[in-house]
Structure 1
Amino acid sequence: MVNYKQLGLLVIVAILIIAPLVIYNGYGEDEGYFGGSDDAGGEAIEESNPDYEVWAEPFWEPPSGEIQSLLFCVQTAIGAIIVGYIFGYWHGGRKAKKE
């Protein structure tokens, strides 16, 4: 038995995964395409005010890009756990009220 709702969601997920790969068919051709907002902000400041001097420095800079990426993933996981807990708490509260 085919569940059309699940099949439709699966198609939507596949489109969301494949569409960016089809739209941008190449990696590394344009260095700024996958750049972050920090890089874009820094470039915009340099263009608008070339004499700007940075007045704040990071407390600690990770020794490599892999460690920086790991810390970002850990931060994302902690945030996802918190959001999941809140949604689960709300869902459990509504379920308890119904019973």
Structure 2
Amino acid sequence: MTRTNLLLLAAVLALTILPLLLPVTGGLDEPFAGADGQAEAAILAGHPAYEPWFAPLWEPPSGEIESLLFALQAALGAGLLGYYLGLRRGQGTGRTAGGRPDRTTDVRD
């Protein structure tokens, strides 16, 4: 392995292991609480009489279902993005191979 590869491997290992070892919670009671809940708590602390403008149309029955829907949304977005990037790369590869399609398989001969 070259020195560059070893340095990159060390950086990846450090970025993988350090967050597991460092207990950084920022003084929060729930370190993995969502930003919506934290924003609501901050607003209510400053203005206790605050009334929300609207309510959700549908609330998932549990946190697990909400996490599942979020993961499905992320997977769908990643799949569409990957498909688009692969499609564009395939189109670019076809153009740089000479600019013309291969005529050896033409059935009109």
Q: TM-score range by the shorter chain?
A: 0.7 to 0.9
Question: So what's the TM-score if we normalise by structure 1?
Answer: 0.77
Deviation per CA, 1:39-75, whole angstroms, max 9, x where unpaired?
1211121123221112311111111111111111101
Q: How does 1:16-55 map to 2 (within 5 A)?
A: 16-24=15-23, 30-55=28-53
The counterpart of 2:73, out of the listed 69, 72, 75, is: 75
Match for residue 92 of structure 1 among 72, 90, 93 = 90
> SS at the partner of 1:70?
helix
The TM-score, its normalising length taken from structure 2, stands at 0.71
Aligned length: 96
Moved more, 84-93 or 73-82: 84-93
Partner residue of 2:56?
Answer: 58
Which residues of structure 2 form unaligned runs of 5+? 98-109
Q: Which runs of 5+ in 1 are unaligned?
A: none
Alpha-carbon distance in structure 2 between the residues aligned to 1:4 and 1:80: 33
> Which of the two has higher C-alpha Rg?
2
